[in-house]
Amino acid sequence: KLGSTTHWRFRASNDKMEDMVKEIQGLVDIFKDDDDAQYEQHPYASLEKAAVLQDARIFHDSIAVKESPRKCCLIIAKLLHLQNTGQFIGGQDATEIFFGVTKLFVSNDASLRRMVYLFIKEVYES
């Protein structure tokens, strides 16, 4: 009798264990899907080179640069992302962007000047 009771308890705990494993596996699948969706929703995942080049024209407008240095920082970040993902900008576009970015060194905004320095450093090293 003692053996059959122990066997029943073991079987009951084994069933509970299987239920827990199934529940955990279901949670893993749910969170795995969430993680995949999070990586697909990278802010620069759908970045278009032409749009960034268009946005970079703001560098030549000193009034716009003074009013929105944060926007300029974001555009520089996008340009760096394009470069780091292998979407190189060449020719006349590269020249215009380089000289436009160097104009930003005179900005009073310290974070913008840091981004300009980082941009020039990255472009020089590549």
pLDDT tens, residue by residue, 81-122: 998 888 888 889 989 999 999 999 889 999 999 999 999 998
Looking at residue 57, the DSSP 8-state letter turns out to be G
Report whether pLDDT(34) > 80.
no
Please give the average per-residue pLDDT across 77-83, as a whole number: 92
Give the DSSP H or E segment for 38.
Answer: helix 2-40
pLDDT at position 116 is: 94
Q: Are residues 92 and 119 in the same domain?
A: yes
| pTM higher than the cut 0.95 | no
| Structural domain count of the chain | 2
Q: How far apart are CA 94 and CA 91, in angstroms?
A: 6
Q: Are residues 117 and 62 in the same domain?
A: yes
Q: Are residues 64 and 100 in the same domain?
A: yes
Confidence class of residue 19 from pLDDT cuts 50, 70 and 90? confident
Q: Which residues of 29-55 are buried (b: 16+ CB within 10 A; e: fewer)?
A: eeeeeeeeeeeeeeeeeeeeeeebbee
Q: Are residues 53 and 114 in the same domain?
A: yes
Report whether pLDDT(76) > 90.
yes
* 104, 116 contact by CB (below 8 A): yes
Looking at residue 108, the DSSP 8-state letter turns out to be S
pLDDT at position 22 is: 76
Report whether pLDDT(3) > 70.
no
Query: What domain range is 35 assigned to?
Result: 1-41
Separation of first and last alpha carbons in the chain: 79
Q: Are residues 64 and 89 in the same domain?
A: yes
Torsion of CA 116, 119, 123, 126, to 10 degrees: 150
Q: Are residues 27 and 53 in the same domain?
A: no
